[in-house]
Amino acid sequence: MKLTIQRTQEGREYDELFDVASLKVTTLLQALYEIKAKVDPTLTFDAGCRSGICGACAVRVNGRETLACSHTPKEGDRIEPLNYHPVQRDLKVDKSPAQSTLVKVLSRKEEVSVDPSSPPPPLSPEEEKRFRIQSDCILCDSCYSACPVLAVNPDFLGPFTLTRAWRYLTDPRYTREVESQNDSSLPTPHSSLLEKVQQNGIWDCTLCGECTAVCPQHIDPKNDIMQLRGESLKAGYSDPNLANQSFCTPDFGGGFGFDPNAGF
Ligand code: SF4
Ligand code: SF4
Ligand code: FES
């Protein structure tokens, strides 16, 4: 079995074909380890748990994001690093720029004082169920790599950060903090979080579903983004793309590329 690996060594990018027929491999990650041990020790990739838990080994196989430790290699597979991440070497990428979007959205300036003598009540099983799936994110960045919006807007917050935002908005502990806040002029954690996903966030998503298709944890960022849109509309935000669209100006149809003089 032959695999092609996109390599980046000392700034030079090239494809290299590896014959792994004589190597004992069951997963792509095992193939990478075998190549490194027996063929080319300079081959560089990321891995940790080897069992789909840590998210470190995400790569693209034939253009599709997958965890190398969960993928069974096939003849002719082409292995590439994740999209939109600076490549450090071969398949190893720097995830910090992509994951800095989490800090952008989730860092908080609001002071929330918690009285240690009356800790918040524990979550009920029903409450916990609301965001259990989003809490399973392993930050593999597969969804980020699959998202077409990042090809045209590198500032887009990206799917896993928006999913994380929805996870916190559905956490009733946020609502409790809102209730317990005394100064109504301060932004609540809830409203501040919603505010942060408006620009380069929920309205920039095309709802293509690529993020959902590649998530190894069966999280549905597309659906979470739709939920965030609903919550934003309820809070008085609107889709800025609709605000720019002209529906009934004198040159009716211009906004849609329709020529009223075309002679129907
Ligand atoms: S659904 Fe939205 S966030 Fe997900 S990949 Fe498509 S554009 Fe990106
Ligand atoms: S949402 Fe899924 S695909 Fe995206 S980073 Fe989390 S686990 Fe990976
Ligand atoms: S090595 Fe941890 S998910 Fe693959």
Q: What is the CATH number of the domain that holds 58?
A: 3.10.20.30
pLDDT digits (tens, 9 = 90+) for 109-168: 655 556 677 777 788 888 888 888 999 999 999 999 999 999 999 999 999 999 999 999
Judge contact between 141 and 58, C-beta under 8 A.
Answer: yes
Mean pLDDT (the chain) is 87
Q: Give yes or no for a contact between 193 and 109, defined as CB atoms under 8 angstroms apart.
A: no
* 102 lies in the same domain as 230: yes
Domain enclosing residue 122, as ranges: 96-243
Q: Whose CA is nearest to atom 8 of ligand 1?
A: 147
Q: Whose CA is nearest to atom 4 of ligand 1?
A: 211
Q: Quick one: which ligand is closest to 228's CA?
A: 1
Residues 88 and 112 in one domain: no
Residues listed for the chain: 264
Which-ligand-closest: CA of 166? 2
pTM of the model: 0.86
Specify the pLDDT at position 258.
Answer: 42
User: What DSSP letter does each residue of 68-103 carry, written as one string?
Assistant: TTTPPP-TT-EEEPPTTS-EEETTEE--HHHHHHHH
Percentage of the chain lying above the pLDDT 90 cut: 67
What six digits make up the tokens of 228?
Answer: 């965030």
Q: What is the C-alpha separation between 28 and 35, in angstroms, rounded?
A: 10
What atom in ligand 3 is closest to the CA of residue 53?
Answer: 3
Contact 101, 162 (CB under 8 A): no
pLDDT at 186: 55
**Of the candidates 18, 151, 129, the residue with the CA atom closest to the CA atom of residue 84:** 151
Q: Is 250 domain-assigned?
A: no
- Count up the domains in the chain and report the number: 2
Residues 105 and 212 in one domain: yes
Q: What is the pLDDT of residues 194-243, one digit of tens each?
A: 999 999 999 999 999 999 999 999 999 999 999 999 999 999 999 988 87
Residue nearest to atom 3 of ligand 2 (CA): 215
Residue type, 153: N
User: Which pLDDT does position 25 carry in this prediction?
Assistant: 80
Residue keyed to tokens 């620009």: 199
CB distance 69 to ligand 3 below 6 Å: yes
Whether residue 175 is predicted with pLDDT greater than 90 in this model: the reply is no
CATH number at residue 228: 1.10.1060.10
Pocket of ligand 1 (CB under 6 A): 146-149, 159, 205-211, 221-222, 225
Question: And the tokens for 236?
Answer: 């008085």
Tell me, yes or no, whether 64 and 39 share the same domain: yes
